[in-house]
Structure formats: C-alpha cells, structure tokens
Structure 1
C-alpha cells in the first residue's frame, strides 16, 4: 500500500533526480564549489590513509585515474551530499607486466561455515 506521504516522497525524489545530475567530467565539476569541496575531501582522505606513494616515473606503464561523481539523496529526495571518488583505470594494466597476482579480501559463506563446523566438532 502506498500512502500519500510515500507518493510525495517518490515524486520529490524523481524531481530531484531529474533537476540535479552529477557532472560527467572533471572540468565541469571543478567549476562548482560543492564538487570541488567533495573532490578535496576525497583527496585528503586518500593522502591521510596512505593510499599511494609518489615514485619517480620509469619505463613501466602508468595507471591513470578519473573522478566519478554521485549525488547522495535522502529518502525525501533532497540532496544529502555531493560525493566524489578518485578511481584507478586498472583496465590499462597487463598481467605479468604491471602486476603478478591479485588479492581479494572476500570471505565466502561456505568458508565461514566450514571453519565454524570444525570449531564445533573439535570443541
């Protein structure tokens, strides 16, 4: 069942989505103070977390990056914040040249169940 309040919220969120869309390129985002602030926050967080370190350029492939922009909205459709993420263009890398192995810290549910069953059986 959809109440009038829910209908209004859905309508308002559609209006907010249509009227405000995130920029598609850096040059457009750089002209707006809100997007510049979002990019600055992201960049400061990356530096604070020691995400990368600068090294001298060598003959190796340089992995580029790009900004991805998103508008976070509240349930009522109003804008909560502008979010910017700096992402690496990892698709330019070649296995064996730019990297040797991959690491993904993802645990599968079957692994957790197996470990828990071993713990229970061995007390």
Structure 2
C-alpha cells in the first residue's frame, strides 16, 4: 500500500489520528477482553444499555432444550434486533459494519485523490 499512497500532504493532527488507529488492538477472546479495563468497561456499558432499553425478557426454558446449548454462534450483538420476525428472518444475523482496513483504505484514497 505504501507504494501507492503517501501521507505527506496530510496534516500533523490527521497523521496522529491515523497512527492511533494502528495502535488499537482488538482482543481475540473474551478472556483477553475482560483482562483489559477499557474493553471490560465497554462490555459493561453495552449490557447496561440493553437492560435499560428492555431488549430482552426472561422466559421459561423450552421443552427439550438444555441451558447453555447453542444453535448458532454470533460474533456481534444485533442492532435493532426487535425488527426481526420469527419465521421470516429471526435466525439470521445482520452486522452492517465496515471492516477497519476498508475504512483506512477509503480514508487514504480520499486524501490521495483530494
């Protein structure tokens, strides 16, 4: 990428911002995330928001199901999950989130092409 893009024309503030993006690491496991204060606080804040907004209700365990069994692994919480309808798209996972590298490339191209 360095062969095609140059940061020479960027302001010093913007260069500092871009370098700070490179220093942010995303933990690969929950244990690693819980070991870091900032990630633990972010998870706590998310859980508090979900509880405050009454996102879920506790219901009795369905017949034939075990506590802790999984039907599908999900990597992210579903935004606006209340808009999904059971029997139509209830079991689908939507995560309209751009990847970090995609955003970096778009920012770099915008800076390069003015």
TM-score by length of 1: 0.45
For the pair shown, the structure with the greater C-alpha radius of gyration is 1
Which structure's relative contact order is higher, taking Cα pairs within 8 Å and 6+ residues apart?
2
Richer in strand (by share): 1
